[in-house]
Amino acid sequence: MPQLFLNERSCETTAEPERVNRAMTELVRAVVAVARVDRPGTVLAAREPVNALRLAKDHPIAKWVGSPGAKELWQRLLLMQTKYPHEDAYPDGETFSDIAYSHEGTPVTGLGAAHLMGGAGVSLPLEPHWNADRITLEREELLDGEDSGSALSEVDVPHIATRVHVDTHLPWIREETQAALRDELSGIRTGAELWERCPDLFPHLCFLPHVEAQVRELRPYWVHPVRKRFAELDRSVQLWDAVAELDGPQWASAVTPEHSARKRDHCKFTDLDGTEQYFDTHLRFTPGVGRLHFRFLRDTRRVHIAHIGRKLGS
């Protein structure tokens, strides 16, 4: 199961003590329900240690722990894997300092971390907009190089505040759990092994000739992250409804274009048909941060990949 990230903004409201306690009880029951599906893989990341959390203004977590029926849930929460602050869940050396997330104009570190790490946000259901199984965020990424400014986009993150939301996400939770198990059992340890499996595993992906060497020579810690990105791209194309989704597939991870200067200087490649094309659309994989540049061909329903590795031009 992807990691769960506590939405700190849901703990900054003012509410009656009994209502806060009921909301916390419901949230912890939801987290425990997730852990039942994937006990070893469930991790809760928060901005501070769980025993120091404030659930609302003037409401430390100790007030909930002392409420009726909370003791057993509190003990289960303490037994879970936890991390703090949210950024401690990032890969070593990665800060994502050039990316910021907000919700209705307010920064949301926890929900942003959930999107970056492919996890789920969790919130106290004290306000109506946190009682939802998906949350839409505004994402801002600083542009590199000559062009100033930033790229703005909207992204959705899976979200849990009640056990009903867990039920909604159960197919995804189980799929992620099984995918992790398959990755562990697959035996793929090198880029060379990954390359040999690409035609069978990812039929919707095509690679420019020089990409073979990039995959074969992947550093060990990049093999599984790249494989995951391949799987996400392939599945997004497989699920694409060309009639309903006119803008193209719904990519499973954050996909952004390069700004004009970098596009012009670094992103032109000779595609498989011999024509010069821009491959400025890219996504990231960690740790590193690695970049994967591609273009999507609607007519053939294929993703053509032109670069896997460090940022172009670096």
Per-residue pLDDT of 215-236, as tens digits, reads 999 988 788 889 889 989 998 9
Asked if pLDDT for residue 184 goes beyond 60, the answer is no
What value does the mean pLDDT take over residues 269-281? 96
Asked if pLDDT for residue 160 goes beyond 70, the answer is yes
Asked if pLDDT for residue 42 goes beyond 80, the answer is yes
Whole-angstrom CA distances from 96 to 158, 221, 288 are 20, 18, 11
DSSP state of 123: -
What's the burial of 184, exposed, middle or buried (CB within 10 Å: 0-12/13-18/19+)? exposed
What value does the mean pLDDT take over residues 50-58? 94
DSSP state of 16: -
Token output for 24: 């916390």
State the average pLDDT for the chain: 89
H or E element at residue 155 = strand 150-160
State the pTM of this model.
0.65
Per-residue pLDDT of 195-209, as tens digits, reads 998 998 899 999 999
Among candidate residues 228, 250, 259, the one with its CA nearest the CA of residue 296: 250
SS3 assignment, position 290: strand
Beta strand 302-309 with 290-297: parallel, antiparallel or unpaired?
Answer: antiparallel
Max distance between CA atoms of the chain, in angstroms, equals: 70
Token output for 231: 């799987």
Q: What is the pLDDT of residue 205?
A: 97
Asked if pLDDT for residue 147 goes beyond 70, the answer is no
Is 15 or 228 the better-scoring residue by pLDDT? Answer: 15
Q: What is the pLDDT of residue 22?
A: 97
Q: What is the pLDDT of residue 162?
A: 97
